[in-house]
Amino acid sequence: MAAVDTPPGLGLGAAARGVFPARPGPRRLAEAAARYVAVAGALAIVLAARRPDAPAAATWVVGALTCAALAAVGLAVRRAHVGIDADGVRWGWGGWVVRMDRDRIDRVLIFRDGLAVRARRGTTWFLAARDWDRFEVMRRTVADVGLPAEEHDRRAPLRARVQSYGRFLDGLVIAAMVGATLVAAGAAL
């Protein structure tokens, strides 16, 4: 049995040249929301279980579980990483990733506020600067690994920025916290 270090470029999923986590602020928001929703949701479920014959008991349980699901989605997305290497671009968690292989990439459009990874066929991925930590390093890494890139000294077009999930995701986790608060308050009445 032997261990072989696979160099980038062979398509075997070698270690990424650059790995970029979500920005710290949004990641902390998602973590705090998950903790808050877990506590408020558990409280709502306990209160609803004490009065199972109440007309809205099932509603409070379903509401708590819905808020927990929304917070879990926010936490999962904010814990994902982007990896860039000579084989392409990856998004995901450790070994659980979605890849856009180098041979699928038409070019990477580099804007001041994000990267648009254009596929020859299929969907363009937009990686917004406000979502990913160390964005300037991410920009340089695209050029360093030799991915086909095109620099643009302007903001990304609106159709690309709309694909960015950052503000929507932050709103979603805040809505989950508000919802969990309302559910817990309703179950307490």
Handedness of CA 84, 88, 92, 97 (dihedral sign): negative
| Alpha-carbon distances, residue 98 vs 34, 83, 186 (angstroms) | 24, 10, 40
Q: pLDDT tens across 35-92, in order?
A: 999 999 999 999 999 998 888 999 999 999 999 999 999 999 999 999 999 999 999 9
Q: pLDDT tens across 141-179, in order?
A: 998 999 999 999 999 888 887 778 888 999 999 999 999
CA dihedral 91, 95, 96, 99 (to 10 degrees): 40
Nearest-angstrom CA–CA distance, 109 and 84: 14
Model's pTM, two decimal places?
0.81
**Residue ranges of domains in the chain:** 28-78+168-188, 81-164
Q: Specify the pLDDT at position 4.
A: 39
pLDDT at 98 over 50: yes
Q: In degrees rounded to 5, what are phi and psi of residue 49?
A: -70, -25
Q: pLDDT tens across 2-23, in order?
A: 343 344 444 445 455 789 999 9
Which CATH architecture fits 81-164?
A: Roll (2.30)
Check if the beta carbon of residue 187 is closer than 8 Å to that of residue 48. Answer: yes
| Alpha-carbon distances, residue 187 vs 43, 71, 97 (angstroms) | 8, 20, 39
Residue 8 CB contacts under 8 Å (≥ 6 apart), including other chains: 14, 15, 17, 85, 86, 87, 145
